[in-house]
C-alpha cells in the first residue's frame, strides 16, 4: 500500500525501554560486584577467596546482562523511522509545491505515500490538494502554515496510519488526543506501572478518510501507533465533541460493533476534531456548511 518505502523494521519503543532497563539492571549488578571487590581488597574477611569469587561472579553476570542490552539499544533503529522520514520529506515537498493549511498538506502527503504503488505519488498529492483547495475556499479561511511541532505530530499519525489504508482510500482529516486513564498506572504503581502502561494507549491517533474511521493507540512511551483502537466504515461510526463549561474537551467515537474511544483533545487539535464530527454527521451534500469535502 505504501510503495517505494523501506520496510517497517527495528524495535518498538517498548522494546527499547526494556533493553534500557536490562542495561541498567546489569550495570547495577556489575557495580555491586565492583563494590564487593573493593571491600574485599580493603577489608578482607575470614574467607577472601570466596569473597573474590562472589565479587567477580557478580561483575561477570552484570557484564553479560548489560553488554548486549546496551549494544542493541544503541544500534537498533526505532520501528517506523523510515516511514516517518518519508512522511516528512513528502510533507516538505507538498508545502513548497502546493501550499495550504495543516489539514490539506497532511491529506496531500498521505495521498503521495499511499499513491506510490500507482507509480505517480506527485499526481496523487496534487489531485488531493485540488480537492482540499475547494474546502478552503468554501470555508473562507486563510490557510496558516503549520507549526513544526504539529508537523512532527502529523508525521507520527501518518506513519502510524498509512499501512492501514486501502487502495485509493483518501485521508480527509487527522488529529490526536490523550486517553488519560492509562497514564494512572505509572502514578499508582511506579516503574512497574509504567511498563504496564507502556503497552496501553496513552495517546490515540484518529484519521477520517473518505471511507472509514481509523483510530490507533500509542503507548505511554510514545512512538508510532501500535494498537488498533477502532476501525469502521464512516456510516457505522458516530462522533461526539460536546461543549461543556470549559469549552469542548472530550471527543468520543462509537462504532456499531461496540468499539469506542474517548479522548481529551488538546486545544491545537480541536479544529480538526470538529471537522471529524462534521464529516461523521449525516451527509448534507458534497460540501458541508464548514466546507468539508465528504
Encode pLDDT of 215-247 as tens digits: 998 866 567 887 888 999 999 999 988 876 666
| Integer CA distances (angstroms), 118 to 98, 107, 112, 132, 171, in order | 20, 17, 10, 21, 17
Q: Are 171 and 106 in contact (CB under 8 A)?
A: yes
Dist. CA 175–CA 247, nearest whole Å:
18
Q: Is the pLDDT of residue 118 over 70?
A: no
Q: Are 221 and 17 in contact (CB under 8 A)?
A: yes
As given in the structure block, the three cell numbers for residue 278 are 462534521
Q: What percent of the chain has a predicted confidence (pLDDT) above 70?
A: 75
Question: Minimum mean pLDDT among 102-106, 149-153, 286-290: which range?
Answer: 286-290
Q: Are 191 and 279 in contact (CB under 8 A)?
A: no
Q: Is the pLDDT of residue 208 over 90?
A: yes
Dist. CA 63–CA 28, nearest whole Å:
10
Distance of CA 221 to the CA centre of its chain: 10
Q: What percent of the chain has a predicted confidence (pLDDT) above 90?
A: 35
Amino acid at each position: 500500500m505504501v510503495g517505494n518505502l523501506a520496510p517497517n523494521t527495528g524495535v518498538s519503543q517498548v522494546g527499547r525501554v526494556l533493553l534500557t532497563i536490562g542495561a541498567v539492571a546489569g550495570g547495577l549488578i556489575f557495580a555491586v560486584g565492583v563494590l564487593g571487590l573493593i571491600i574485599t581488597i580493603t577489608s578482607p574477611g575470614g574467607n577472601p577467596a570466596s569473597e573474590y569469587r562472589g565479587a567477580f561472579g557478580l561483575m561477570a553476570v552484570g557484564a553479560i546482562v548489560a553488554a548486549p542490552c546496551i549494544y542493541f539499544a544503541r544500534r537498533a533503529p526505532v520501528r517506523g523511522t523510515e516511514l516517518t522520514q518519508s512522511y516528512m520529506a513528502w510533507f516538505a515537498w507538498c508545502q513548497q509545491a502546493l501550499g495550504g493549511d495543516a489539514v490539506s498538506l497532511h491529506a496531500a502527503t498521505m495521498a503521495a505515500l499511499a499513491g506510490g504503488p500507482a507509480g505517480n505519488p506527485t499526481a496523487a498529492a496534487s489531485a488531493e490538494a485540488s480537492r482540499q483547495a475547494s474546502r478552503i475556499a468554501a470555508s473562507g479561511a486563510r490557510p496558516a502554515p503549520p507549526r513544526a511541532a504539529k508537523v512532527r505530530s502529523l508525521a507520527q499519525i501518518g506513519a502510524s496510519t498509512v499501512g492501514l489504508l486501502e487502495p485509493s482510500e483518501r485521508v480527509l482529516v487527522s488529529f490526536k488526543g490523550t486517553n488519560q486513564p492509562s497514564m494512572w498506572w505509572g502514578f499508582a504503581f511506579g516503574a512497574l506501572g509504567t511498563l504496564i502502561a507502556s503497552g496501553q494507549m496513552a495517546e490515540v491517533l484518529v484519521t477520517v478518510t473518505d471511507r472509514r474511521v481509523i483510530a490507533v493507540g500509542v503507548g505511554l512511551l510514545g512512538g508510532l501507533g501500535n494498537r488498533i483502537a477502532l476501525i469502521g466504515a464512516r456510516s457505522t461510526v458516530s462522533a461526539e465533541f460536546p461543549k461543556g463549561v470549559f469549552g469542548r474537551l472530550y471527543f468520543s467515537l462509537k462504532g456499531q460493533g461496540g468499539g469506542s474511544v474517548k479522548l481529551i483533545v488538546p486545544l491545537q487539535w480541536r479544529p480538526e476534531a470538529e471537522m471529524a464530527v462534521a464529516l461523521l454527521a449525516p451527509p448534507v451534500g458534497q460540501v458541508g456548511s464548514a466546507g468539508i469535502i465528504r
